[in-house]
Amino acid sequence: MGTEYAPARAMAPTKLAYFDDMWALRSTATVVSLVQQDGGRRAVVLHSTVFYPQGGGQPADTGVISSGGARFLVEDVRMKDGVVFHYGRFEDVGDGCNSEFSEGQSVNLEVDAERRNLNSRLHSAGHLLDICISNIGLSHVEPGKGHHFPDGPFVEYKGGIPPDQLQDKKNKLEKEANELISKGAKVLACILPYEEATQLCGGALPSYISKGSTPRIVKFGDHPGGPCGGTHVADISNINNIKVTNIRVKKGLIKVSYNVSP
């Protein structure tokens, strides 16, 4: 039976800098704790972070946290009870001993821009398909799960499409998405009171958003917005191109597989 890691003391939630400014890839922060987990995995906890923790169908950022001669290579980022854990390892500085951080130290954060950019494009592409699916006459389908990972991204909808229409819908969906990309539209992300958020999302919010809460809403141009905690491109023209690779209907779920060009 494995022992589960329990922090010695409860840590305050990490400030999610990407919530307010999802295009900032560098920042400074203060070290709250250095955590050693079962199996020897290390984690750095900071008071705030520009790193995106895996969630909402989007993979974690990678990058570097550094201070003085110490460099911590961030390989994975996860959030638990509001606390963001940057997992990775200290770079060997070559003299046989690794330089590390201490609690309260100020450190520099730098997110891997190339990886983040691809993840943001894939996430925005998923949201754009939600808009397009209703534009091509499938407004009755209900958005479900989204998987915006480079390894086989897809979006799912509850509903159906007659088999003889699948190819036509696939072509129309791809055409509509690329038309909207070529027109472009600014992407807005903000935290709003429930009523205001409802208005921005076309008059209704999903039932998992509790009344009285202040959800974060992501909105493309004049299209209805939706609740989302992820990162996105600044303008949908930055998605560049969407390829709808497959549409499959199984057990009342429409699975739309897609990709973006490199």
Give contact residues for Zn ion (rule: CB under 5 A): 228, 230
Which residue's CB is nearer to Zn ion, number 228 or number 260?
Answer: 228
Which residue's CB is nearer to Zn ion, number 46 or number 217?
Answer: 217
We find the least distance from the C-beta atom of residue 97 to Zn ion, in angstroms, to be 43
We find the least distance from the C-beta atom of residue 127 to Zn ion, in angstroms, to be 6
DSSP secondary structure string for all residues of 76-95: EEEEETTEEEEEEEEPP-SS
CA distances to 14, 84, 212 from 10, rounded to whole Å, are 12, 13, 27
We find the least distance from the C-beta atom of residue 123 to Zn ion, in angstroms, to be 6
We find the least distance from the C-beta atom of residue 228 to Zn ion, in angstroms, to be 3
Which residue's CB is nearer to Zn ion, number 53 or number 230?
Answer: 230
Residue 236 dihedral angles phi and psi, to the nearest 5° = -65, -15
Are 64 and 74 in contact, with CB atoms under 8 Å apart? yes
Q: Which residue is nearest to Zn ion (CB)?
A: 228
Residue type, 220: F
Alpha helices in the chain (DSSP H): 17-20, 113-135, 166-183, 194-200
Look at strands 63-67 and 106-111 and give their pairing.
antiparallel
Residue entry with tokens 């130290």: 105
Which residue's CB is nearer to Zn ion, number 52 or number 101?
Answer: 52
We find the least distance from the C-beta atom of residue 124 to Zn ion, in angstroms, to be 8
Which residue's CB is nearer to Zn ion, number 162 or number 208?
Answer: 208
